[in-house]
Amino acid sequence: MSIGEFSARCGLSPKMLRTYAADGLLTPAAVDQVSGYRYYAPGQVHDAKTIGLLRRAGVPLVHIATFLCAPRPGRLDQWERELDNETRTRLQALAEVREHLALDARAPRTPTQYAPQRGGRRMPTLTAGSATDIGLVRASNQDALLIDDALFAVADGMGGAGEAASTLALNTLQATFARKGGPDGLLDACRAANSAVWHEAQSGAPDLADMGSTITAIGVVTRAGDEGLAAVNVGDSRAYLLHLGQLRRLTVDHSHVQDLVLAGDITEQEARLHPQRSLLTRALGIGPNVLPDVVDIPYVSGDRLLLCTDGLFTEVDEHQIGAALTSFRDRGQAATELVGLATAHGGHDNVSVVIIDIN
C-alpha cells in the first residue's frame, strides 16, 4: 500500500514514517526506483502501531528498535519501573526546591552588609577551639597552633627541626604581637617570627640549617580606637571565613602549585594531587627578610573563622570543610571532625585546625 494509505491505517504521519525509516525502523517493503515512492506491506501496520504507542510513552527510538526484534512484556515492566523512579526523583527535587526557597526567605535577600571598620567599633567576643593530629604517615607532628585572647595561629614546620621551627615561630609571634597600630602590629610580629627561625637556622648546628615554617595568623588589630580583624600569611597554611554557610578563602598560598593555578595551567583540584604541591615559594626561616601577605577580614557577628595547615585541605575538599563547619555548632566538635576527615582520607600529613567563633 502507498505511504498515504499506510499512514491513515497506522496513525503515523508520512513525515514520521520517513524519519523512522531513516533510523532503520519500519523500512518500507518496497521503494519505486524511478519515482522514489514508498510502499508498505499490510503486515507492517502492527509494528507501526506499536512504535506509535511507545513513542507516546517517551521510549527512545533506539530502544524501540531492539524491542521490535523481540517484544517481551518484561521489557515493558522495566520501562514502567524506570518511569516511576524518574517521576519520584523529579517530584523529590521539586519538593526540595520548595524547602530551599522557604529557607532562603528567612535569610536576608541581599548580601549582608559588613559593618564598617571605622567609628569606634567594638570587637565582638572571639572564642576558639582546635585540634591537631600527627596523621597516619609522619613520624612526628611538626605543626603548631596558638590560641590567645586576641591572636590565633597555625604553623607547619619543615626540615629536620621542623617541630622546633613552628613552635619558635608561634612563640615569637605571641611575644611580639601588639594590637595597636593596625595590621602593622601583626605584620611586625610575623617578621619577628621569621627572624627568630632564621637566626636559629644560622646558629651553626647542622640539624637546624634547613629548618623553616609556614605561618597563618589572625589577630585583633586596633588603630585610633577602631578594632578589627586581620590575617597574615607566609607559606601554604590557610585562613577561611564561614559567612552564612558560605566558605571563603582569605589567604593565597605561597606555593608552586598556587602559581600554576593562578596562571591557569592547572585547576585547584589538580593542585591538591600535584607531586610538587609541597614546594613553597615563601616560608619563615629561609632568609633574613620575609614578605608576609596581610588582609583585613570582613566579618559580622555569627561568622566563623578557620585556620588550618595543608594536611587538612590536601585531604578534604572545601565543600566538605564548609559542610563540617556548618553542621557542628560546637567549635571543638567541628575541629575534631575536620581532623578526623583528614585522617579518614589518608592522613598523609600532620593536620591542625583552629576554629574561631565571632559573637
Residues that bind Mn ion (CB under 5 A): 156, 309-311, 349
Comparing CB distances to Mn ion, the nearer of 337 and 349 is 349
| DSSP summary character for residue 317 | -
Give the C-alpha separation, 317 to 298, whole Å. Answer: 23
Comparing CB distances to Mn ion, the nearer of 176 and 281 is 281
Comparing CB distances to Mn ion, the nearer of 303 and 310 is 310
Query: CA nearest 358: which of 264, 259, 193, 227?
Result: 227
C-alpha grid cell, residue 122: 567594638
Comparing CB distances to Mn ion, the nearer of 121 and 348 is 348
Amino acid found at 88: R
Comparing CB distances to Mn ion, the nearer of 9 and 348 is 348
The distance of closest approach from Cβ of residue 79 to Mn ion in the complex, given in angstroms and rounded to an integer, is: 53
Query: CA nearest 289: which of 178, 193, 186?
Result: 193
The distance of closest approach from Cβ of residue 138 to Mn ion in the complex, given in angstroms and rounded to an integer, is: 9
SS3 content of the chain, % helix, strand, coil (to 5): 40, 20, 35
- Strands (E) in 55-142, as ranges, are 126-133
The distance of closest approach from Cβ of residue 344 to Mn ion in the complex, given in angstroms and rounded to an integer, is: 17
The distance of closest approach from Cβ of residue 236 to Mn ion in the complex, given in angstroms and rounded to an integer, is: 8
Give the C-alpha separation, 96 to 93, whole Å. Answer: 5
The distance of closest approach from Cβ of residue 144 to Mn ion in the complex, given in angstroms and rounded to an integer, is: 11
Comparing CB distances to Mn ion, the nearer of 19 and 278 is 278
Query: CA–CA distance from 209 to each of 153, 166, 204 (Å)?
Result: 24, 14, 7
The answer to whether residues 154 and 353 touch, using CB atoms and an 8 Å cutoff, is yes
The distance of closest approach from Cβ of residue 59 to Mn ion in the complex, given in angstroms and rounded to an integer, is: 55
